A = this chain, B = another copy of it.
Amino acid sequence: MTIVRPFAIALAALAAALAPVAQADTLIENIQGISVDRDGKVTRFTAMWIDDDGRVKQLLDRKDKRPKRTDFAVDGNGAYVIPGLIDSHLHMMGLGFAQLTIDLSDTKSLAEAQAKIRAYAAKHPDRRWIVGGGWNQVNWGLGRFPTAAELDAAVPDRPVLLERVDGHAVWANSAAMAAAGITAKTANPAGGRIERVAGGKTPAGVFVDRATALFDAVVPAPRPEDRDLALAKAQELLLSKGVTAAADMGTRIEDWQSFRRAGDLGWLRMRIMSYASGIDAMALIGGPGPTPWLYKDKLRLNGVKLYLDGALGSRGAWLKQPYADDAGNTGLPLMTGAQLRNMMSRAALDKFQVAVHSIGDAANAEVLDAIAEMTDTYKGDRRWRIEHAQIVSPSDIARFGKYGIVASMQPTHQTSDRIMAEARLGPDRLAGAYAWRSIAAAGGHLAFGSDAPVEAPDAFAGIAAAISRTDADGQPFGGWMPQEAITREAALAAYTSGGAWAGFAEGRFGELKPGEWADFVIVDRDPLMASPADIRATKVQETWVGGERVYSAK
C-alpha cells in the first residue's frame, strides 16, 4: 500500500496553523475490506475513510459516493484489509523476555549450542547474566549431560544459566555457580540433585529439579530498562503478526509501570487490556476501580486475573474424576471455594472485571458455581471471564450462556494438547474438551487468544485450528472432535469483535466501523474464503493502529 497523492488543502493548512495537534484525514481506496460483528455478520467494503484522530469515519462500497476532499488518499492496490486482531489471553512481559533470552531448542549438537551461546554473549556485552533454555542433550547425541567446563568454553567471563527443554534442569557455567556460592560442599537440596564430576563432589554443571532453585536468589531481577525492552520486543512481534490489542493476563505493578512509560513516552503502539496479577496488584494499579482508558484507548486496567487450578500436562488441572493416566489423582484447586469467592467479591465490589484461570472440569464447575451465586449481588454488566475453560462437563456448558460468561479460549492449545489430553482424560471425558462450538451455542461469549509465550501469538494458526480442529500438518484427518469446529466468521469474530467485547472495548476497537479506531491489518488473502492450511500461511503485510501504520513487512 503506497501513499499516492498526499495533498494539503487550504483548510488543512489553516487547521494545522491553528491547532498543532490536528492530523489529517485519509481515504484508503481500492481495498477488499472485511469486518465481522459478534454475531458473525460480515461487512465488506472497498474503501475506508479515516478521520483526523485515526478513527473510521466511513466505510464505502464500490458504488458509494466518495468524499469530496480528503487530506490524503491511499491506493490499497486491492489488498485484503481485516480488523486488527485481538489476542485475548497472553503474557506481554513473558513474551518479551522470551525474545530477549537465548533459545537452544533448534541446536543439533553440543558444538552448535556452544557456538550459538558464544555468539549470543558477544552480541550482548551488556547482559550481566546470559539466560535462556531449550537445550536437550538427547538431541545432541551426547549420551550424558553437558558440563560447566563446556559452557565455560563458550562464555568464561559472565554467568550463564540455561534451562533444559522440559524445565526440570539447568546447566550453569563456573561463573554462575560461583555467583550462587555453589561448591563441592553444597549438599543436594530436598527434591533436587546436583550432578557431580565423576568420582568426586565437584558440581558438574547440571542441577536437577529443586536444585535449580539454588540460583533463584542470584539471577538478577530484570531492571526497568530490561522490562521496557521486553515490552518493546513483545509489541514488535505482536504487531508483525497483526495483533493490535491484547489482554495481558497477570499484570504486576512493574509490568504496569512499563506499560505507562511506553504510553507516557509515546511508544505504546498497540492496545493492552490489563488484568492484574491478583487482588493486591489490582488495588495498587487500579485503586478504587478500573483505570480509565489511557493514551487514546491504548491501555486500561480492566480487572484481575485469578488462578483456580494448574495445567493439564503437569496434572495440575483440577478434575472431577481422577486422571486417566494417574489413578487417584484429581489435581488440586489452588485455593478454597471460600477464598475464590472472597477474591471475586473483593474485585466485583469495586467493579473490576474478574478473569479466573480454570482448566479442569472441577475448576470450571467451581467458578461457574461462584458466578451463579454472585450474579444477584453484583448486578449489571460484569462479563465474568473464564480463562482457558479447557475441560468443561457437558452438563455445565449451558451455564456459560445463562450467566453471559466470556470463554477466553486458545484454539492452538487444542491442537498442541490433543494427544496429551486424551491420555490425561481417557476417551470418555472429551465431550467438553476445548468445546468452543458448544460453549458458543449455549450463549457463552468466545474470545480467542494464544497464551503466548506458551504458544506463538499467531491468530491465523488459531483461526485455522478453530475452524478445522487440525494442526499445522492437517492432523488428525477430518479434525479432532470436529463437531466443535466453528465457522470462519465466528473464529474471526472471536479474534476481533469478540475479544473487544470481552475487554469492555466494543465501540472503541475490534470492528472496522464508523466511530471505532482504525486498527487494521493488511493481509495477502481472504480469511473467510481460504482453506485452513492457507489461513495458516497468511502473510501480514502491514499493521495499522489508530490510523497509523505501525508495522510493514517491506
Contact = CB atoms under 8 A, between A and B. Distances in A.
For this chain, the copies found in one complex come to: 2
A253 B223 CA distance: 17
Contacts of A223: 283, 288
A228 interface: yes
A419 interface: no
B21 A18 contact: no
A266 to B, nearest CB: 9
B284 A257 contact: yes
A530 interface: no
Given A253-B253, A264-B294, A294-B264, A288 B228 contact: yes
Interface string A248-264: 00000110011011001
A422 B250 CA distance: 57
Contacts of A19: 15, 18-19, 21-22
A225 interface: yes
Contacts of A283: 223-224
Interface string A217-228: 000000111011
A291 interface: yes
Contacts of A254: 284
Interface string A178-210: 000000000000000000000000000000000
Contacts of A285: 257
A292 B258 CA distance: 13
A4 interface: no
A14 interface: yes
Q: Which of A223, A224, A225, A227 has the most CB of B within 10 A?
A: A224
A21 B21 CA distance: 9
A275 to B, nearest CB: 17
Given A14-B18, A15-B19, A19-B19, A287 B264 contact: no
Contacts of A287: 224-225, 227-228, 257-258, 261
A338 interface: no
Given A21-B21, A257-B284, A261-B287, 14 more contacts: A11-B18, A14-B14, A15-B18, A18-B19, A19-B19, A19-B21, A224-B283, A225-B287, A225-B288, A228-B287, A228-B288, A257-B285, A257-B287, A265-B292
Q: Which 9 residue pairs spanning A and B have beta carbons closest together?
A: A19-B19, A224-B287, A15-B18, A225-B288, A224-B288, A19-B22, A264-B292, A261-B287, A257-B287
